[in-house]
Amino acid sequence: MTVRENEKVLEYTLPYKHYVDPQILDKEKKNIFFKNWILAGHASQVEKEGDFFTFEVVGESLIVSRDKNNKLNAFYNICPHRGTKVERSEQGNKKVFMCSYHGWTFQLDGKLNRAPNFDNGNLGEHSCMTHVKLEVYKSLIFVNLDKNARPLSDSYEELVNDLDKYTFLDSLKKVRVTQRMVNANWKAIVDNYLECDHCKIAHPAFSRTFDMNNYNIDTHKNYSCQYSQLKKGGNENQAHFYWIWPNLMVSIYPGEEGNMTTSTILPISPDQSLAIYSYYFRTDEITEEQEELIKFVDQVREEDFELVELLQTGFNTQAFKQGIYSPTEHGLRNFHQRIKEAMIIE
Ligand code: FES
Ligand SMILES: [Fe+2]
């Protein structure tokens, strides 16, 4: 086969401009982050009436709160009077939310409580902080900024059927949260998670634990699942690493007690992303064994962040315009296909 014929069978990744161009990121915000279910938090953060936390989805500040009817609500953290950000703390417990500009107050469900100098009855749509769709699945709180979004269980029907077998997930608590700014495009971080061709080289501890010759990546419409045999037996409880469209990774460790970690990747700019990773266990106390697991997961993650930061510097190269897939990188291909569909590109 000539070099030219050989090149024809190569399959190319997303062009590198998708990892550096601010206009493309703007379009991704509208077409992807404002249209899909995004993990915002966990039910254990808002157990009691008045409990709340704030969360930002690519520049849009939101409040998630539990109201006096025990219902969870999500709304934009923006005062309907003139647009001031209302709640400044990350979490807490309140009877009402108060805007610090002209003192409007809001009930726990976002409805106006009192607006000095105004008659509450005449304020139309300005009498409420703007609601956002919220759903809870396995105690995970998802929000969707698209008013017409399909229910989570419709959009992710296959995934929900798959995860339903992990009944212990409902009883976990969010025990630890870490945030890390990564100097890389959000997709580069997801790309890295979706293939394990790099594992033998980049993750020595991971490769010692899992059998890299028996590593599986199952792809589905809007999620994928990676797993392999453990080198030292106990395979009925082996870990499963899920990626869920667009920006969520969930690692489930059934084990004796059962636990889980989640990572949410949120773009800040084309070459910077916020990674929020959370650890969920059954109890608030972390055992020595669980600390070991956290250390293991953190180490693999840091190894990955170092690689993607190195990769990001290459996206600006003039040398060539896009990378190529290996035959085993079908998880990555699947993700890029979803991106193309969402961004309406060939
Ligand atoms: S902007 Fe919030 S009370 Fe005026
Ligand atoms: Fe990795």
CATH code, domain with 112: 2.102.10.10
Instruction: Decide which of 148, 183, 211 is a domain's last residue.
Output: 148
* Domain containing residue 200: 12-34+158-343
User: Which ligand lies nearest the alpha carbon of 113?
Assistant: 1
Taking CA atoms only, the protein residue closest to ligand 1 atom 4 is 102
223 CB-near residues (< 8 Å, 6+ apart): 156, 158, 159, 162, 242, 243, 244, 245
Number of domains composing the chain: 2
Nearest-angstrom CA–CA distance, 301 and 188:
13
Q: What is the amino acid identity at position 215?
A: Y
pLDDT for 170 equals 92
Instruction: Decide which of 148, 167, 189 is a domain's last residue.
Output: 148
In this structure, are 327 and 245 located in the same domain? yes
In this structure, are 191 and 209 located in the same domain? yes
According to DSSP, residue 286 is labeled P
DSSP secondary structure of 99-153:
-TTT--EE-TTSBEEE-TTS-GGG-GGGGBPPB-EEEEETTEEEEE--TTPPPHH
Instruction: Decide which of 148, 174, 205 is a domain's last residue.
Output: 148
The answer to whether the CB of 208 is under 6 A from ligand 1 is: no
pLDDT, tens digit only, all 346 positions of the chain = 455 555 568 999 999 999 999 999 999 999 999 999 999 999 999 999 999 999 999 999 999 999 999 999 999 999 999 999 999 999 999 999 999 999 999 999 999 999 998 887 789 889 999 999 999 999 999 999 999 999 999 999 999 999 999 999 999 999 999 999 999 999 999 999 999 999 999 998 888 888 888 889 999 999 999 998 777 666 667 889 999 999 999 999 987 788 999 999 999 999 999 999 999 999 888 899 889 989 999 999 999 999 999 999 999 999 999 999 999 999 999 999 999 999 987 5
Nearest-angstrom CA–CA distance, 218 and 162:
12
pLDDT for 281 equals 95
Could you tell me if 338 and 246 are in contact, meaning their C-beta atoms sit under 8 angstroms apart? yes
Q: Does residue 5 lie within any of the structural domains? A: no
**Probe ligand 1: pick from 99, 113, 126, 128, max atoms within 8 Å of CB?**
99
In this structure, are 192 and 90 located in the same domain? no
In this structure, are 186 and 126 located in the same domain? no
In this structure, are 116 and 182 located in the same domain? no
User: Which ligand lies nearest the alpha carbon of 202?
Assistant: 2
Q: Does residue 4 lie within any of the structural domains? A: no
The answer to whether the CB of 79 is under 6 A from ligand 1 is: yes
In this structure, are 194 and 334 located in the same domain? yes
In this structure, are 77 and 108 located in the same domain? yes
User: Which ligand lies nearest the alpha carbon of 304?
Assistant: 2
In this structure, are 47 and 76 located in the same domain? yes
According to DSSP, the residues that pair with 142 across neighbouring strands are 39, 135
Q: Does residue 336 lie within any of the structural domains? A: yes
The answer to whether the CB of 102 is under 6 A from ligand 1 is: yes
In this structure, are 164 and 219 located in the same domain? yes
Q: Which atom of ligand 1 is nearest to the CA of 104?
A: 3
According to DSSP, residue 321 is labeled S
